[in-house]
Amino acid sequence: VHDQIAKQVEEMQKAIASYKRMDQKREEIISQLVERFHQGEKIDLIPLNDWTKEMNQFASQYHLPIRKYVTMEMFESYAKKL
């Protein structure tokens, strides 16, 4: 029983670490988009939301937080504050 619990805990710790890496990549995508927005470039949110979808699918397997899909209105509001 203890070995099974230890295995489940280890699996969850690995999932959390993977999720954190995925979340960091999502934040990097957002930062790049904000930078391009401030340079006056056209912004395409599809890559961000595709990554969010992949991340959410992973998160749902391990009962981790789901991230919101980003609309242009949400993005512009955020980017203008920076």
Contact 49, 64 (CB under 8 A): no
Distance CA 75, CA 68 (A): 12
| HSE, side-chain direction, 13 A CA sphere, residue 77 | 5
Q: What is the pLDDT of residue 20?
A: 98
- Which tokens in the block code for residue 61? 């397997």
Residue 57 has pLDDT above 80, yes or no: yes
Cα separation of 46 and 52, whole Å?
A: 10
pTM of the model: 0.90
Q: Which tokens hold the place of 40? A: 């006056």
How far is Cα 18 from Cα 36, in angstroms, rounded to an integer?
A: 27
Average pLDDT, the chain: 97
